[in-house]
Amino acid sequence: MGGLFHKLRYPRRCYVVCAIARSGSNLFTDGLHATRRAGRPKQFFLPKYEHQYAAKSGLDANDFAAYVRGIIPATATSNEVFGFKLMGWYLNEFLVRLRQTGEFGDSEASDLEMLVAAFPRLRFLQITRRDKLRQAISKARAAQTGLWKVQEGKSEKAEPVYDRALIARALLEAEEEEKIWNAFFTRIDRQPFQVEYEQLCRDFAGTLTAVLDFLEIRLRWGVRIHPPATIRQGDALSDDWERQYRTG
């Protein structure tokens, strides 16, 4: 009876964080992870990471359908919530791989039907950044330094140098990724819960609380949302690059 009661009280819930590079997705997902009630939202379905996650969870990354099914219970929190992150640049490849398994719907199944079959009670979160130029500057710096996640103890592998062409390319890439996500949401006829990076920075706890409410997740009694461990990259160098880019 205990096991049955547990499953009735905590039905499995899945969500996906829909993101593009340097939109604040690490800040966001680290905050969700830290609640210990919202899964461990990582890029489980980025091919270069799959063998790493599979090994940690005792799964076979070479059997994609089994990996998808297995990673959910392996990384869900105790309340059976599973979260994952997808970037726009590999969204369509992920959907193709999921469909090719034949395990989550036939060839006539829509993308939404297939996703819900793979990820029960799936909900969509999208994080965006209003300041597109600063987003592009952040991506350009990360590409040069190799430091994609700024945390205490991590250091840059190379010195960043202002490169107008690199920033311009990052702007275009972000625009293309947003188009991919917009087309996807139009196709599945769903509006994701929107999280704005700037608002997340202004009110970290309040923004995460709103997300948890949307996902119908309750924190344990007395638990508070703490300041983020992920450090914002923006600094005087980013300010200088912005001035240079705007003045041409």
| 248 residues of the chain, pLDDT tens digit each | 344 444 444 457 999 999 999 999 999 999 999 999 999 999 999 999 999 999 999 999 999 999 999 999 999 999 999 999 999 999 999 999 999 999 999 889 999 999 999 999 999 999 999 999 999 999 999 889 877 666 555 556 778 999 999 999 999 999 999 999 999 999 999 999 999 999 999 999 999 999 999 999 999 888 889 888 766 666 889 999 999 999 98
pLDDT score, position 226: 85
pLDDT score, position 235: 84
Kindly report the length of the chain: 248
Angle 213-219-222 from CA coordinates, rounded to 5°: 130
- Determine the Cα–Cα distance for residues 142 and 140; give it in Å rounded to an integer: 6
- Determine the Cα–Cα distance for residues 197 and 204; give it in Å rounded to an integer: 10
DSSP E strands: which ranges in the chain?
13-19, 81-87, 122-128, 193-196
| Structural domains in the chain, sorted by start | 2-132+180-224 (3.40.50.300)
Q: Are 17 and 85 in contact (CB under 8 A)?
A: yes
Q: Are 170 and 102 in contact (CB under 8 A)?
A: no
Which pair of structure tokens corresponds to residue 102? 């034949």
Q: Which candidate, 101, 107, 39, places its Cα nearest to that of 66?
A: 101
pTM, entire model: 0.90
102: left (phi over 0), alpha (psi -120 to 50) or beta: left
Residue written as tokens 């945390």? 151
Q: Are 46 and 90 in contact (CB under 8 A)?
A: yes
pLDDT score, position 1: 39
